Amino acid sequence: MSVFEHRSFDEHEHVAFCHDKQTGLKAIIAVHNSNLGQAMGGCRMFNYHSGDEALNDVLRLSRGMTYKSAAANIPVGGAKSVILGDPRQHKTDDLMRAMGRFIDSLGGLYVGAEDSGMHERDMKIMASETQHVAGFALQEGERGDPSPATAYGVFIGLKKAVQHKLKTSDLKGVRVAIQGLGNVGYRLAGLLHEAGAELLVSDVFQANADRAVQNYNATLIAPDQIFSQSVDVVAPCALGSIIDDVVLNQLQAKIIAGSANNQLAHDDLGMALKARGILYVPDYVLNAGGIIDVYYQRQGASYDDAHSHITNSIDQTLAEVFRKSDMMGRSTNVIADEVARERFDPNFHGEDAVA
Ligand code: NAD
């Protein structure tokens, strides 16, 4: 099957298959759409079972980045790259440099940043081969890792959802169950704790859950029970595709608002959640803080500028999505896609044009 017939191909502008014999690097870089500007997106390293699984991931994720940047109102196109391999076993400095050279060979068509399996250090090594990488600090005092900005954006969007659904702007006593206390989830827990929310947390990596229990007075929940808790909000901050038909029937929460990408196992779940009276906050609208911060970092702008853009754009885009979803009786995930697509696709004019 060629890439053009692939189930996740969506008129991508550029797909590059990269192989470096010397280091064994196998990677794919996908640029989905650059209508709004230079295409940016994370570089993920993951132990894919097959080349097709990696291709599917990079095609979907790069498309998602186009929608995310459009929803976030930044002049940035959508792209992503994946490196095939186990980051704990196969990552070497030479491999990172080889990836840097492939990114450089695209001459700026793609700007990479860290994603799962990658850290600031890896991006710095790539930066020795190309200027087209971002999301790391070169000197002490500079900001780099976009996770704090992502967590802040999720916090802003979660507050907006609480205001809309629970009719209160006060998070005091609001019960939130967080799945995944990593870079984003742990910081989100801190912000929610400060605002007076009651936290329930779970992580498969015990030490990550424990620090939220100790520092934020959170209650520890077994990983397989986090979505069935009696809470107001569930915040998936670990994995994609975790809201499926089984979880749908377990949920007691009124709101889903977390950082994980591609949370819904399939699109129809958006309508099923709506029918159950659960407000689903579209993931890429909510977790755009990181890409907004990376964009501002590349412009040499201050965190204050990034911060106010995150606050305003997430608040305003969610207000539009919630309003249209209520008015039209349609799911928030589909409405978000339309709102984003109207912003990057000049040939798209509302719901009639949705495939
Ligand atoms: P991370 O790897 O730092 O944290 C993920 C945490 O989830 C880890 O502590 C891990 O142990 C835990 N986890 C994994 N499987 C779990 C399970 N089944 N149950 C409970 N916990 C589990 O990742 P992160 O940077 O915090 O990102 C979290 C999510 O947000 C990811 O889906 C990522 O794609 C998305 N995201 C992150 C950013 C960012 O700026 N870091 C931006 C946008 C989206």
232 and 203 in a single domain? The answer is yes
19 and 108 in a single domain? The answer is yes
176 and 39 in a single domain? The answer is no
Tokens of 293: 């911060």
Provide the residue type at 45 as one letter: M
CB 31 within 8 A of CB 102: no
Q: Which of 26, 68, 80, 165 is catalytic?
A: 80
Residue 209, domain member (yes or no): yes
Confidence class for position 1, pLDDT limits 50, 70, 90: low
Phi, psi for residue 8 in degrees, rounded to 5: -100, 5
CATH value at residue 180: 3.40.50.720
pLDDT at 354 over 60: no
Q: How far is the CA of 119 from the centre of ligand 1 (A)?
A: 13
Residues with Cβ < 8 Å from 231, sequence gap 6 or more? Answer: 175, 176, 177, 200, 252, 253
Residue 81, domain member (yes or no): yes
Residue 35, domain member (yes or no): yes
> Is residue 263 lining ligand 1, measured as CB closer than 6 Å?
no
Residue 57, domain member (yes or no): yes
Closest atom of ligand 1 relative to the 150 alpha carbon:
40
108 and 183 in a single domain? The answer is no
Residue 91 annotated among the catalytic residues of the structure: no
Please give the pLDDT value at position 353.
42
89 and 197 in a single domain? The answer is no
pLDDT at 240 over 90: no
pLDDT at 275 over 80: yes
Residues with Cβ < 8 Å from 242, sequence gap 6 or more? Answer: 179, 227, 236, 260, 263, 265
Pairing of strands 25-33, 14-20: antiparallel
Closest atom of ligand 1 relative to the 208 alpha carbon:
9
More confident residue, 174 or 147: 174
120 and 21 in a single domain? The answer is yes
Give SS3 for 57: helix
Number of CB atoms found within 10 A of residue 159's CB: 23
Residue 133, domain member (yes or no): no
39 strand-pairing partners: 77, 110
Confidence class for position 65, pLDDT limits 50, 70, 90: very high
Q: Which residue's CA is the nearest one to ligand 1's atom 25?
A: 183
CB 223 within 8 A of CB 202: yes
254 and 333 in a single domain? The answer is yes
> Is residue 180 lining ligand 1, measured as CB closer than 6 Å?
yes
Q: How far is the CA of 9 from the centre of ligand 1 (A)?
A: 26
Residue 348, domain member (yes or no): no
Q: List the end-to-end C-alpha distance of the chain, in Å, as a whole number.
A: 23
Residue 306, domain member (yes or no): no
Please give the pLDDT value at position 135.
82
204 and 324 in a single domain? The answer is yes
Residue-wise burial string across 292-321, b where 16 or more C-beta atoms lie within 10 A, e elsewhere: bbbbbbeeeeeeeebbebbeebbeebbeeb
CB 69 within 8 A of CB 36: yes
Q: What is the dihedral of CA 331, 332, 337, 338, to 10 degrees?
A: 70
As to burial, measured by CB atoms within 10 angstroms (0-12 exposed, 13-18 middle, 19+ buried), residue 196 is exposed
CATH value at residue 57: 3.40.50.10860
pLDDT at 355 over 70: no
Closest atom of ligand 1 relative to the 236 alpha carbon:
29
Q: How far is the CA of 115 from the centre of ligand 1 (A)?
A: 10
What is the number of alpha carbons within 13 Å of residue 315 lying toward its C-beta? Answer: 11
228 and 334 in a single domain? The answer is yes
Range of the domain at 277: 147-288+317-341
Confidence class for position 2, pLDDT limits 50, 70, 90: confident
CB 224 within 8 A of CB 218: no
182 and 97 in a single domain? The answer is no
Please tell me the distance from the alpha carbon of residue 101 to that of residue 104, in angstroms, as a whole number: 5
Q: Which residue's CA is the nearest one to ligand 1's atom 27?
A: 184
Counting the structural domains of the chain, the total is 2
Residue 312, domain member (yes or no): no
13 and 102 in a single domain? The answer is yes
160 and 283 in a single domain? The answer is yes
pLDDT at 142 over 90: no
Element containing residue 161 per DSSP (H, E): helix 147-166
pLDDT in tens, 185-233: 999 999 999 999 999 999 999 999 999 999 999 999 999 999 999 999 9
Q: Which residue's CA is the nearest one to ligand 1's atom 29?
A: 260
pLDDT in tens, 30-60: 999 999 999 999 999 999 999 999 999 999 9
Question: Considering Cα of 285, then 290, then 295, then 296, what sign does the dihedral take?
Answer: positive
> Is residue 260 lining ligand 1, measured as CB closer than 6 Å?
yes
